[in-house]
Amino acid sequence: MKVFMSEFEAHRIYGGLWIVVWHPAVSGRLARCHAIDGMIRTMMETGDAWFATMEEIAEHIAHCRADGTWTPRVEHLPYLTEPLPVEVMTPGR
């Protein structure tokens, strides 16, 4: 739990999105589940953490795009129009 709380505190300081996934090896035992419950309650008591469902996140993003407060970054990859030469695909050949 100390590692998760440290990560949470760092995100509070520096900002950003923190997505936590608790594998059943971490959360699948009663004592661990109880500890996670306490940790989440502590996080929520800070008043500045948002625990959201995927639907709530999607609605938030749609709202931000609609009002112009956020625009997604678009990466333009160099799509190839023909196969690469064999020399490029097999270095050292």
Name the stretches of the chain with pLDDT < 70: 88-93
The reported pLDDT for the residue numbered 87 is 75
Whether 40 and 51 have beta carbons less than 8 Å apart is answered as yes
pLDDT at 34: 93
∠67-70-72 over CA atoms, to 5°? Answer: 125
Categorise residue 11: left if φ over 0, alpha if ψ from -120 to 50, beta otherwise: alpha
CA distances from 42 to 8, 38, 46, 56, 64 (A): 11, 6, 7, 22, 28
4 within 8 A of 20, measured Cβ to Cβ = yes
DSSP 3-state assignment of 35?
Answer: helix
What is the reported pLDDT for 43? 95
